[in-house]
Amino acid sequence: MQIETITVTPFEQNSRLIIDTNNSVGAVLDPGGEVSRIINCIEKRRINIKSILLTHSHLDHIGGVVDLIEYLEKKQGQKPDLYGHIIETEMRSHAPDIAKAYGLSPNDYKACPEPDVYIEDGDLVEIGSIKLNVFFTPGHSPGHVVYYSEKGESSEPVLFAGDTLFAGSIGRTDLPGGDYETLRRSIYDKIFTLPDNTLVLPGHGTDTEVGREKHSNPFL
Ligand SMILES: [Zn+2]
Ligand SMILES: [Zn+2]
């Protein structure tokens, strides 16, 4: 597995390319916007993108989905499969309105189509030979999921954490459908039970590790 990070938009959201280097196939996680930059990276690496994975459906994570699908369909002659949780349908459709409320251009944050594949806790997502376990981790948003692989870029496991756990912080819980206690429970039950050496790749900010956050995160 190789991972490329493209930090996009004023939200400084970490979009990730997850690449199976043996087969030159991959997935894009949370294409939040500035899709031309994500596309540059895909073209440079010459990867066939089979899937787009969503951790959750806040506009900073879904704003570029439509444009990316349109590009991939043209370029690859095949639409990638979109993966996301069923609960967040309404949130996906409201992205442009919320962008307007933030004073941003709705053209940069388009409404996100419904996923081709609804995922739930315990599902396995395959990208070539890469296997990602799906864990349901609500609290920051009602349908939030994280993706975990026992073997990341090195031999250590990796977690694509979205907006659950950050380096020294946790996701906000004041947005619609958010709940502080639910988020804490998700982190304790689903993330802190992973090996301490699990590399955590959050939706914003720098990478961290499960063990480090267990011992030093002031919110937990
Ligand atoms: Zn969010
Ligand atoms: Zn976010």
Which pLDDT tens digit goes with each residue over 96-132?
999 999 999 999 999 999 999 999 999 999 999 999 9
Determine the 3-state secondary structure of 204 from DSSP.
strand
Q: Is 113 exposed, middle or buried (0-12, 13-18, 19+ CB in 10 A)?
A: middle
Q: Which ligand sits closest to the CA of 56?
A: 1
Is the CB of residue 165 less than 8 Å from the CB of residue 123? no
- CA–CA–CA angle 141, 196, 16 (5° rounding): 50
Residue 81 pLDDT: 98
Q: Is 77 exposed, middle or buried (0-12, 13-18, 19+ CB in 10 A)?
A: exposed
Q: What is the pTM of this model?
A: 0.97
Question: Which residues of the chain are under the pLDDT cut of 70?
Answer: none
- Cα 167 to middle of ligand 1, angstroms: 15
Residue 130 pLDDT: 97
- Cα 32 to middle of ligand 2, angstroms: 9
Q: Which ligand sits closest to the CA of 10?
A: 2
- Cα 110 to middle of ligand 2, angstroms: 16
